Structure 1
Amino acid sequence: MFQSYLFPISYAFMTFPVAALFFTLPFLIVQYRRHGYINKVRALVLYLLLLYLMNAFYLVMLPLPASRHNLPKLGGALQPIPLQFIQDIMRESNIVGSEPSTYLSLLRERAFLQVIFNVLLMVPFGMFLNYYFRARWMVCILLSFGLSLFFEVTQITGIYGFYDYPHRVFDVDDLIANTLGGIIGYRIAEWISGLLPRIEQLDQSVDLGAKRVTYTRRGIAFMIDGGICMIGTGILYVFELPFAYWIATGIYFILLPYFTNGRTLGKWIVRIRVSGSSEHVTLRMLFVRYGLLYWVFFGLHVLLLEATMNQSIPAAGLLILQILVPILQLSGIIHLIIRMFKKNPVLLYEQISRTSHTISWPDHSPGLAINQ
């Protein structure tokens, strides 16, 4: 029986990296907006919660039928009688009430082990609710019951109509056992909470002014802003506006941050902004910073793409771009890698423009400089 649990667990661990990949971006954004930085303990707990939920889901769902057109279960797919498991245990076991030595045989009985499994399944859920989310015990009961009900409904509906018939039994006793497991986990978390760092105290001694704006944080803002700017550029191209790329990047990366004190939408989402030597970043600083980045570095890439597609420049000019752009790409990658391992990893265009990134947090002065 225990071997039947190994396949779902192994499958959960195999697919966890994929789920974590999709989970990471929203996780980072939420943490940056809510706390201003990424705490390792908080990240570990939330990734463990994700791994647990995947294991729990696979354990109650797998193995799946070989075909969508499965056959109905013998005896029906609904067990509505509460505490029916007691009769099942008494019927399947050989225990004698007056002989305690026979009680050990329960450890080999399917009905008994099934109840124990359903209790243990939700113990971690109750622990997470207590330790991380600081939920009250009544909320724990409701959420544990709700998660169990979600599992049971998913089973009895054949994964919401994907299969012709339910491949598992909707068992009221599972709801009872799962909810009990959540309560037990909630109590265990109270007993061991003194051995773990307090979640609500993780940020008390954190000085955001001493934390640098990481490349991960900047990269998320860059992806968001890049996507928005590409859409804007595409719209200008549809209207056949000349210099569409340079107009779109100039408006979004130079004019917008000037009027929003160094913020674009991407930077606002992850709570950072561009700052200069003064409290308000100047138009000249932004012009130099993003002119070098988007009009020179990325601009040459755009010129090469347009020249290749439209044959808009002489062959000699196209050859120069074909040589220059790969050199720029390689130099940019090497420069970025070197700077990532520096204590103060300011990039070249930031040094020239005398700008940097700051954590934009309500409790901090808007001119507070954060190490890059």
Structure 2
Amino acid sequence: MSFPIAALLFTLPFLIVQYRRHGYINKIRVLVLYLLLLYLLNAFFLVLLPLPDSVHNAAPAGHVIQPVPLQFIQDILRNTQLTRNDPASYLAVLQEPDFLLAAFNVALVVPFGLFLGYYFRTRWVVCILLSFALSLVFEITQVTGIYGFFDHPYRLFDVDDLITNTLGGIIGFRIALWISGLLPRIEQLDSQEDLSAKKVTYTRRGIACLLDAVLWISVVLLLNLLSLNVSFWAVSVVYFLLFPLFTRGRTPGKWMVRIRLSAADGSPAKLWMLWVRYGLLYGILGGINFLTLDSALMLTLGTIASTVIQIAAAAANLLFIIHLILRMIRRTRPLFYEEWSRTRNVITWPDPQQAAAGETVTH
């Protein structure tokens, strides 16, 4: 139940990182990283649940730290009746709660080691350190009552848990090395991809638009808070018309996801193209929406004029949403402001600095 919420929060930074690092989204990479997210959620819930009934939980009766390494072995031997000449007595160990607790603590971190060995290609030393760090986070979270959320600790800080969890990470790491030949090679996922043949997806454009909108509106609000009296329109002209002209069609949002604007024929976008494109998208469509948010202006215009503006904004938004849905279904035609401005988005990979170092730039 928590996974959709966590996935939603994870998706935007995940997409930005993937576009920045790889230039596109690979389905195998998406699957692996979302499985990692799902695993971590399950692992933390296994460690933390069940929670106390109240945040004002009772203080533990005994010690909250078990500092003796491998204490679980002594507990198993003490609680199991072993007979040297009776093999069945050895099998009974497998049913002992102390043994099962240690075994499941090992199993808990095996998937983490698998991810480190298969996807992240870490060294074994790094795997040991990260597995130990993950286990330490588990233990500290428990012994601090989830960092003070509960009045008292409700779990024991057990050194043996650190040992068995770290062992589980090492086992998972070794399994990943053994089975890596049966799985797609992570380092070769991008070797067959031709970014010049890929189209810029609406998801990628939407992220760039979202990032630009947040920064653009933040600048407008900041300037007004500073009483500089810089209008919405002036900021829009600088941000969407002048700035891309000197950055080869990049706004900050487009730069973050490695795309830029160009003319339909691949040449740099001209000033009139930027005026038409952004004038339609942000000047008219964005402007009419901005007017509806300016309460002082709407009061000045009067009831009739403000009502007309609100109706016009709602109608424009509805028509644009319908137009966008139709273009997403029929991908052969561009959006109206792209068609009229003769512009398009193209992928910029790698960076010009990398190209200067001898790599090929794919537009």
Residue equivalent to 1:35: 22
Give the match for residue 291 of structure 1.
279
Q: 1:331 Cα deviation (Å)?
A: 1.1
What amino acid does structure 2 have at the position aligned with 1:22? Answer: L
Question: In structure 1, how many angstroms separate the alpha carbons of the residues matched to 2:127 and 2:266?
Answer: 50
C-alpha distance in 2, partners of 1:131/1:272? 30
Q: CA deviation at 1:323?
A: 3.6
> Which residue of 322, 326, 349 maps to 1:361?
349
How far 1:317 sits from its partner (Å)? 4.0
1:17 partner letter = P
308, 329, 333: which one pairs with 1:341?
A: 329
What is the distance in 2 between the residues matched to 1:147 and 1:325? 51
- Taking only the aligned residue pairs, the percentage that are identical comes to 57
2:45 is aligned with 1:52: no
Q: Structure 1 residues 315 and 113, CA, compared in 2 at 3 Å: closer, same or farther? A: closer
Shift of 1:229: 1.4
The reply on whether 1:136 has 2:123 as its aligned counterpart is yes
SS at structure 1 position matched to 2:346: strand
Matched to 1:176, the amino acid is I
Amino acid at match of 1:104: L
AA paired with 1:144?
S
Query: How many residues are treated as equivalent by the alignment?
Result: 353
Q: What is the CA–CA distance in structure 2 between the aligned matches of 1:158 and 1:312, rounded to whole Å?
A: 56
Which residue in 2 is equivalent to 1:166? 153
Q: Indicate which of 148, 172, 178 corresponds to 2:165.
A: 178
Measure the CA separation in 1 of the matches of 2:289 and 2:331.
Answer: 30
Greater mean alpha carbon deviation, residues 85-94 or residues 319-328: 319-328
Gaps of 5+ in 2: 351-358
SS of residue in 2 equivalent to 1:73: coil
Query: Contact 1:308–1:318 at 8 Å: present in 2 too?
Result: no
Residues 305 and 161 (structure 1), Cα distance of their counterparts in 2 relative to 1, 3 Å cut: closer
**CA distance in 1: counterparts of 2:289 and 2:146, whole angstroms:** 48
Residues 166, 228 of structure 1: alpha-carbon distance in 2 compared, 3 angstrom cutoff: same
In structure 1, C-alpha distance between the alignment counterparts of 2:338 and 2:325, rounded to whole Å? 16
Residue 256 of structure 1 corresponds to which residue in structure 2?
243
Extract unaligned runs of 5+ from structure 1: 1-13
CA contact (8 A) 2:291 2:297 kept: no
- SS at structure 2 position matched to 1:231: helix
1:210 and 2:197 are equivalent in the alignment: yes
Confirm or deny that 1:332 pairs with 2:320: yes
Within 2, Cα distance between the matches of 1:316 and 1:65?
59
- Do 1:307 and 1:318's aligned partners in 2 also have CA atoms closer than 8 Å? no
Distance change in 2, residues 1:140/1:235 (3 Å): closer
When normalised by structure 2's length, the TM-score is: 0.91
Within 2, Cα distance between the matches of 1:323 and 1:75? 68
Measured against aligned partners, the alpha-carbon deviations of 1:261-307 in whole angstroms (never above 9, x if no partner) come to 11111111111111113532111110010011111122222334447
Whole-angstrom CA distance in 2 between matches of 1:166 and 1:320:
61
**Deviation, structure 1 residue 161:** 2.8
CA RMSD of aligned residues (A): 2.0
User: Paired residue for 1:113?
Assistant: 100
Distance across 1 between alignment mates of 2:88 and 2:43: 33
Length-normalised TM-score, structure 1: 0.89
State the distance in 2 between where 1:336 and 1:359 align.
21
Secondary structure of the structure 1 residue equivalent to 2:300 = coil
